[in-house]
């Protein structure tokens, strides 16, 4: 393979990339989110400067992605913290757990999402919507609510998924990045 062909590749292995090039289209996504208030002290230890805690709240979410071009059918869950950066309110993506290698790799390498392998699930059990997250053999989260008991206002739902998000990209052991961190922000979580 010629060097100019190598530089055109997004990822390795060169003969079977971990994920295909985008753009990616997400069809029929299903979101289940729960926001809870917590002690601000642990959040302050988790949120890196220069971000500041805006409210001591955490949003736990489980998202079904049944039809994503190039990445397939997968589910992810995550924790998002209410923060402020240079006067702008948004969310710091603390962690995401995903059940798909292409979604993990593309999300981490292209979009800076802090993704790890996990087993999130979103399902209906009789008249109850159930979101779970297993990490290895451990159940670490279970969330439930009545299934389609009342519709959510579309503008409010859009506001919840389109607020600014802040993520940290760490590039260790490169001369240009030693001792530094690069911040990434986006207007919405529409990338993998």
Catalytic sites, residue numbers:
115
Q: Among 125, 145, 123, 126, which Cα is nearest to 134's?
A: 123
- Parallel, antiparallel or unpaired: strands 115-117 and 88-98: parallel
> 13: cis peptide before it, omega within 30°?
yes
Q: Check: CB of residue 118 under 8 Å from CB of residue 99.
A: yes
Q: Are 48 and 72 in contact (CB under 8 A)?
A: no
């Amino acid at each position: 393979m010629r060097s100019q062909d190598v530089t055109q590749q997004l990822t390795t292995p060169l003969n079977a990339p971990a994920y295909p090039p985008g753009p990616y289209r997400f069809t029929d996504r299903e979101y289940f989110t729960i926001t809870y208030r917590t002690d601000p002290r642990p959040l302050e230890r988790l949120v890196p400067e220069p971000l500041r805690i805006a409210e001591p709240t955490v949003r736990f979410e489980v998202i079904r992605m049944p039809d994503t071009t190039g990445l397939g059918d997968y589910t992810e869950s995550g924790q998002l913290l209410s923060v402020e950066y240079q006067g702008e309110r948004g969310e710091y993506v603390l962690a995401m757990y995903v059940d798909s290698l292409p979604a993990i790799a593309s999300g981490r390498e292209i979009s800076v999402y802090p993704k790890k392998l996990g087993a999130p699930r979103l399902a209906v059990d009789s008249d109850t919507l159930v979101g779970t997250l297993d990490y290895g053999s451990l159940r670490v989260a279970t969330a439930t609510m009545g299934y389609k008991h009342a519709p959510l206002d579309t503008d409010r739902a859009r506001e919840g998924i389109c607020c600014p998000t802040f993520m940290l990209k760490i590039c260790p052991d490169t001369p240009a990045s030693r001792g530094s961190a690069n911040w990434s922000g986006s207007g919405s979580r529409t990338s993998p």
